[in-house]
Structure 1
């Protein structure tokens, strides 16, 4: 199975970096092999968001430029998290009854390939 590089950001502010091969938005948990080699079971309900990244460094110091915004299928949205952070991207489907949604970032130069945002970490979503 293909391993995906991820950065898991939790509602309590903690972060886990590593890889996963068994994430599914329809499960209640998935496994992460951390950068130190530890296997950790992650409960999706405890997540703020799961960032599928190109490189293991999360690029938090890089601010999105949005100069080369790509136009992707789906609805363009801005996700406002409960902690004040925001992300912009495209999503094919948003249903508040689901445990989360996938967002494809608009910045092609950023480190994030896609983001799974948990519904319980969202303050609001703005459709752009």
Structure 2
């Protein structure tokens, strides 16, 4: 399996950048090879319950000036259901989903902005303050 570039955001505000090859939405633990790490101590065990979200990114730098589109243009159709998620820390994430179930540990959101650095986001359900379909 090809490694996925991720940015893991913890509930306490910490951020971990690196790659993973063993993240599965139904598993409580996965491992991240820390960005820039080369030694055995650079593989970090991550508990899903400690996280707010996992951002699967195209690259680690992104474009800090990019303002992500959060609404569909007139006539534009989304695949899946358009959803707005407000995390307990106040961050708002908008995207589409086909698998939201508040009973599950988390769900994927796919940004509607094709130029966003995030390819997809796995949101941890217990870190969500509010979720609504748009």
TM-score bracket, shorter-length normalisation: over 0.9
Q: Distance in 2 between matches of 1:77 and 1:33?
A: 31
**Which string of whole-angstrom CA distances, capped at 9 and with x for unpartnered residues, describes residues 62-106 of structure 1?**
321357766332110001111111011000021111000000011
TM-score by length of 1: 0.92
Q: Is the 8 A contact 1:71 1:106 kept in 2?
A: no
Q: Sort the Cα spacing of 1:122 and 1:61 in 2 relative to 1 into closer, same or farther, 3 A.
A: farther
Report the equivalent of 2:10. 10
Q: The residue matched to 1:120 in structure 2 has which SS?
A: helix
Q: Is the 8 A contact 1:7 1:58 kept in 2?
A: no
| Number of equivalenced pairs | 128
Is residue 65 from structure 1 mapped to residue 59 from structure 2 by the alignment?
no
Q: The residue matched to 2:49 in structure 1 has which SS?
A: helix
Is residue 85 from structure 1 mapped to residue 91 from structure 2 by the alignment?
yes
Larger Rg over CA atoms: 2
Structure 1, unmatched stretches of 5+, are none
Q: Distance in 2 between matches of 1:12 and 1:59?
A: 24
Moved more, 69-78 or 113-122: 69-78
Report the equivalent of 1:107. 113
Q: Distance in 1 between matches of 2:22 and 2:62?
A: 21
What is the RMSD computed on CA atoms of the aligned residues?
A: 1.7
Structure 2, unmatched stretches of 5+, are none
TM-score by length of 2: 0.88
